[in-house]
Structure 1
Amino acid sequence: MNEDRLDIKTPEYVSIQFQLAGLGSRAAAFIIDQLLLTVVNILTIVVLFFVMDGISSVQFLPDSFIPIAITIIILFIVNWGYFFAFEFFLGGRTIGKKLIGIRVIQENGHSITLLSSFIRNLIRIIDSLPTAYFLGIIMIFFHPKHKRLGDLVAGTIVIHERKVKQKKKLTPIEKEIETRGLTKYDIFIDEWTLKSLGMKEWKLISTYASRYPQVPMEERNQLTRQIAEILLPKIGLEVEGKRETDLENTLLVLYLILKDEWEFEL
């Protein structure tokens, strides 16, 4: 199944291998998404029915077309915006993709960007032609990287999620992060800043995280401030005036964010 795998070399000459999502898994995810959208569409139309029923008893008949026009606009925004919003804000995953275990990423291995998500889903209109997503199905089936037209234009690919092996015990740093109640969502880093952090920054923060539980307190405080002075300005955060505990929390959250980007395990 080598044809279903894609090797990507990062600027740091690190080779990352992805398993491409084929027609079957993509179709399954799409069906789940469409079922969810169908429920939303039906509920919207039911609401329209009751609104129209109320308007029909009013003498101003011309205004009765306004709810229909509004509903058509809402249905278009929901059906198109669902894929665009979920793929961008949930890291390339719609609800269907998340359940099936696939996601959309950039062809260079990075997370999908706002522009790519917009273009990819705008072209979805063409991929659905002439009916029942026929053009998209044909493209995915015959393209060597299982791309539809939207993927070609946006420079994206759809891959299977990388499954992290279950560990019986948490590592010391994972226990520390869990004890502090930290998550990768505690800091917002925009996509451009995130892409400026490469393998060098990942190695630095991962080394810090691995050494953190073993280093004596005095040496740990010194190490924390040194690493913070290197990394935090790169994400727009100041170091001056902050306590060591705050710097530690920020660095550990940054570790979680970069781990999601750089630590791959099939």
Structure 2
Amino acid sequence: MDGIITGEGVVLDSRPASAASRLLAALLDLLLLGVVLFVVFIALSAVITSPSEEVVRIVGVVFLATITVVLPTTVDTLTRGRSLGKLALGIRIVRDDGGPIVFRQSFVRALVGVGELWLTFGSVALICSIVHPQGKRVGDILAGTYAVRVRGAAKVRTPIVMPPMLAGWAHTADLARLPDGLALSVRQFLGRAASLHPASRVQLGSQLTAEVQRYVNPLPPLGTHPEAFLAAVLAERRDRELVTRLRAGERDAAESSLLQRLPHGVPDPVD
């Protein structure tokens, strides 16, 4: 099955990007880089009129290091793997576990890219991307990353239903805020539980239950099925957030009406 397998074993609905789309994204980035370099060259020419040989050598070394390593690392780190070319083609560089890339992965990709992209004019990267089943280049293999497609129609998600036997417990339980990554993993596990292998389903459900129980007090009744427990936590969490939003909206509306009233003693206009 194609897709990203998270650390909790949940399959995300993303597909590896093709070599053609990665090549086109790289060409767009290269075109943008050329425009930026042209502007920088014009600016330096206006500032430095007659540079010495040492200045030219230093500027050249700094220039090459910036173009080949510093700039790609910075862009990938700040954009979480979405340069303008990748953004235009609807692809993103992610870790093998589906998470966003950080500085370490960006630096390894850029450093390896000096050889497989710049010194070989991208031929090594293109061949590796075509041959590899996930479209990885050498830098992706060493950094533990690959490119995925992030465009496409959003799938309708089945709403989480509160298990009736746990409704009373969930309404009175103290539920701390779940980390976003854990909540997403639980949501995707419940959505795909029916398609998982029975043994994997039990194992993943037990692992996620153990993690979520750290944020719940008191624990559900003994003998509660892990999937029922996870569904109850997410359903109650959703309902509480909805109530909080509704109350905040009512409070804002009341405060807004007070601010719009005329000063004391001046009657409000009658329509």
- Whether TM-score is above 0.5 comes out as yes
**Residue number in structure 2 paired with 1:48:** 44
Question: What is the identity percentage for the equivalent residue pairs of Structure 1 and Structure 2?
Answer: 24
Q: Which amino acid letter does the alignment assign opposite residue 33 of structure 1?
A: D
Q: Is contact 1:37-1:79 (8 Å) kept?
A: no
The corresponding residue for 2:96 is 107
Q: Equivalent residue of 2:2, what SS?
A: strand
Question: SS of the residue aligned with 2:80?
Answer: coil
User: How far is the alpha carbon of 1:11 from its aligned partner?
Assistant: 4.1
Q: In structure 2, how many angstroms separate the alpha carbons of the residues matched to 1:82 and 1:209? A: 41
Q: Tell me what 1:224 maps to.
A: none
Q: Does 1:10 align with 2:6?
A: yes
Aligned to 1:140: 129
1:206 and 1:76 map into 2 onto residues whose CA distance is 51
- Aligned partner of 1:40: which letter? V
Q: 1:50 to 1:205 in 2, by over 3 A?
A: farther
Contact 2:69-2:107 at 8 Å conserved across structures: no
The residue type paired with residue 98 of structure 1 is: L
Q: Secondary structure of 2:44's match? A: helix
Are residues 1:125 and 2:154 paired?
Answer: no
Q: How many residues align?
A: 185
* Amino acid in the other structure paired with 2:35: V
In structure 2, which of residues 85, 96, 100 is the aligned counterpart of residue 96 of structure 1? Answer: 85
Q: 2:68, 2:114 within 8 Å by CA — same for their partners in 1?
A: no
TM-align CA RMSD? 3.6
**Equivalence for 1:199:** 185
Q: Which runs of 5+ in 1 are unaligned?
A: 57-62, 168-192, 222-244, 246-266
Is structure 2 residue 31 aligned with structure 1 residue 27?
Answer: no
- Displacement of 1:109 in angstroms is 1.1
Q: What's the offset of the Cα at 1:49?
A: 2.7
Pairwise CA distance, 1:42: 1.8
User: Cα 1:117–1:149, aligned 2, differ >3 Å: closer, same or farther?
Assistant: same
Cα displacement (A) at 1:89: 1.5
* Residue number in structure 1 paired with 2:148: 159
| Contact 2:81 2:101 (8 Å CA) reproduced | yes
How far 1:113 sits from its partner (Å)? 2.1
1:212 aligns with 2:241: yes
Secondary structure of the residue that 1:128 maps to in structure 2?
helix
Label 1:140 to 1:207 Cα distance change in 2 as closer, same or farther (>3 A).
farther
Q: Which residue of 2 aligns with 1:37?
A: 33
Deviates further, 107-116 or 11-20:
11-20
Partner in structure 2 of residue 253 of structure 1: none
Deviation at 1:6, TM superposition (A): 2.2
Higher mean displacement: 73-82 or 114-123: 73-82
Contact 1:52-1:67 at 8 Å conserved across structures: no
Query: Which has the higher mean CA deviation after the structures are superposed, 80-89 or 70-79?
Result: 70-79
1:143 to partner: Cα distance? 1.1
Larger radius of gyration: 2
What is the rounded CA distance, in whole Å, between the counterparts of 1:216 and 1:155 in structure 2?
Answer: 40
What TM-score does the superposition give when structure 1 sets the normalisation length? 0.58
Greater shift in the superposed pair: 75-84 or 90-99: 75-84
Listed as ranges, the gaps of 5+ residues in structure 2 are 157-178, 187-211, 213-229, 253-271
Q: What is the CA-CA distance between 1:147 and the residue it aligns to?
A: 0.8
Following the alignment from structure 1 to structure 2, what is the Cα–Cα distance between the partners of residues 91 and 43?
26
Letter of the aligned partner of 1:157 in structure 2? Answer: Y
Aligned equivalents of 1:109, 1:92: Cα separation in 2: 12
Q: CA deviation at 1:94?
A: 0.7
Question: Tell me, what secondary structure is at the counterpart of 2:3?
Answer: strand
